[in-house]
Amino acid sequence: MRLGGPLALIIKLGPRARSLLLGTSLYSYGVHNVFKVNETSFKDCTVPPESEALTSGNDVITLATPGRKWYICGVGKHCQIGGQKLFIIVQDTTAPIASPTAAPASTSTNLLMI
């Protein structure tokens, strides 16, 4: 999965936040998959039945609108045990980019990086 689009983004990783460049690869093909989920599914590491996995390794998610986005790995217990989930705040580039704030300690996550 690659991130693309005209907007700035902040990635929340547990108590830390990181900025990534557009085009950054976020998961390894064949080892992980990615599901877009809502906040509740993100916290619970559950994949809604209507969700479709991103699995090609060449998936592109265009961040076309500002807002909060949640993604999890649906392979085995990668999300529950490995913390492989991703929370993104997309900010419109016309607005000043706010400093990231710490995420609650209960949402410790790992970035799915190649």
Alpha-carbon distance of 41 to 55, in angstroms, equals: 19
Tens digit of each residue's pLDDT (9 = 90 or more) over 88-113 = 888 877 755 555 555 444 444 444 43
Domain of residue 18 covers: 2-96
Tens digit of each residue's pLDDT (9 = 90 or more) over 32-56 = 889 999 999 999 999 988 888 988 8
Count how many domains the chain has. 1
* Structural domain contains residue 85: yes
Whether 66 has a pLDDT exceeding 60, the answer reads: yes
Computed over every residue of the chain, the mean pLDDT equals: 72
* Structural domain contains residue 106: no
Q: What is the DSSP string of the chain?
A: -EEESSSEEEEEETTEEE---TT-B-S-TTT--BEEE-HHHHHHT---TT---B-SS--EEE--S-EEEEEE--STTTTTTT-BEEEEEEE-TTSPPPPP-PPPGGG--B----
* Structural domain contains residue 109: no
* Structural domain contains residue 82: yes
* Structural domain contains residue 101: no
Q: What is the pLDDT of residue 45?
A: 94
* Structural domain contains residue 103: no
What is the reported pTM? 0.67
